[in-house]
Amino acid sequence: MSLQSQDILRRSASPTQPPIAREHKAEVAKLIDVTTCIGCKACQVACSEWNDLRDEIGSNVGVYDNPADLTAESWTVMRYSEVEQNGKLEWLIRKDGCMHCADPGCLKACPSPGAIIQYANGIVDFQSEHCIGCGYCISGCPFNVPRINQKDNKAYKCTLCSDRVSVGQEPACVKTCPTGAIRFGSKEDMKEYAQERVDELKTRGYANAGLYDPQGVGGTHVMYVLHHADQPELYHGLKKDPQISPVVSLWKGILKPLSTIGLAASLLFGFFHYIGVGPNKAEDDDEEDKV
């Protein structure tokens, strides 16, 4: 029997509660302080190194972003945005990747039991052997994160180094960050630390500095400290109020009970109509039966 964590908060496409005996685990969070990030991409390298990923070497597309987008084998990428704020050029650099939502759209959309799980500590993890490659997780994600690998038709994304975290280590990107811009700890501690950073930024003139922990998805287990928390869009289109699309909520929500009622009604109608009225025979069918 395989090792089991027995702290599974949620499991995709599973109507009953998965093993949760060890639910006492504290919620964890990765805090990315965008204001102290220098864009060195050490985190990208550390991610690929620890997770043993070898994405294709791409080509320079004229900007610093490289690779140009998340892929099934690049689970985190630096996003560089040149914006003008208060008459000055600002170079905003954001480490993009899975946000590990408390209310994960990918998990909600996934049709395969156990292909996506959420641990008690908040990490949302893909269990690739159960993935069927349908891409529903992509439609569920409000942050455009999961990517399907063309080699095996499985979806991949940041695991928040669930393997490292489970043995008391921080994620690889946190470990490697040379400026300490990425921190890891309990969500409570990270929020406290973020507050210190925000207070300091405010004294330095960033009046709108703040923590990005969007409540539309129940909060996230990857959070940002932003200089311009009032305009997250500045950071390569980071959504101001990300939510699971209402279309996905309809599909995975009300449509199910409605269709159950509809299908059950049509079946029950047929059954009881037959019991009540009996077969509809043309007159001389009986004679024909005798022949």
Place of tokens 């501690």: 189
Cα distance between residue 45 and residue 149, in whole Å:
19
Which runs of E-coded beta strand occur in 141-247?
147-148, 155-156, 182-186, 210-212, 222-226
Using a 10 angstrom Cβ sphere, with 0-12 exposed, 13-18 middle and 19 or more buried, the burial of residue 119 is buried
When the beta carbons of 38 and 132 are compared against another protein, the nearer one is 132
Site string for another protein, 29-68 (x = CB under 8 A): ----------------------------------------
Q: Binding of another protein at residue 237 (CB under 8 A)? A: no
Q: Which helix (H) or strand (E) holds 96?
A: strand 88-96
**47 annotated as ligand-binding:** yes
Tell me which stretch binds another protein (CB under 8 A): 19-27, 51-59, 194-202, 242-250: 242-250
Q: Which stretch binds another protein (CB under 8 A): 37-45, 214-222, 234-242, 280-288?
A: 280-288
* Smaller CB separation from another protein, 26 or 255: 255
* Residue 8 in the binding site for another protein (CB under 8 A): no
Select the span of 25-33, 79-87, 90-98, 262-270 touching another protein (CB under 8 A): 262-270
- Determine if residue 115 is labeled as part of a ligand binding site: no
- Residue 164 makes CB contacts below 8 A (sequence gap 6+) with 50, 170, 171, 172
CB 238 within 8 A of CB 212: yes
- Check whether 40 is labelled as a binding-site residue: yes
Closest to another protein by CB, 204 vs 256, is: 256
Q: And the tokens for 269?
A: 């109608």
User: Rule CB under 8 A: is residue 139 a binding residue for another protein?
Assistant: yes
Contact flag: residue 280 with another protein (CB under 8 A):
yes
Closest to another protein by CB, 11 vs 197, is 11
Rounded Cα distance, 41 and 154, in Å: 26
Q: Is 18 a binder of another protein (CB under 8 A)?
A: no
Site for another protein in 72-111 (CB under 8 A): 111
The CA distance from 19 to 228, in Å, is 41
Which residues are paired to 225 by β-bridges? 33, 211
Element (H, E) at 93: strand 88-96
Question: From CA 92, how far away is CA 228, in angstroms rounded?
Answer: 10
User: Any binding-site annotation on 105?
Assistant: no
CB 197 within 8 A of CB 180: no
Closest to another protein by CB, 97 or 140: 140
Strands 88-96 and 77-85: antiparallel
Residue 250 found at the interface with another protein (CB under 8 A): yes
Structure tokens at 106: 């990918």
Which chain residues interact with another protein by CB under 8 A?
12-15, 111-113, 130, 132-136, 138-139, 144, 148, 150, 153, 245, 247-248, 250-251, 255-256, 259, 262-263, 266-267, 269-270, 273-274, 277-285, 287-288, 291
- Enumerate the known binding-site residues for [4Fe-4S] cluster: 37, 40, 43, 47, 98, 101, 106, 110, 131, 134, 137, 141, 158, 161, 173, 177
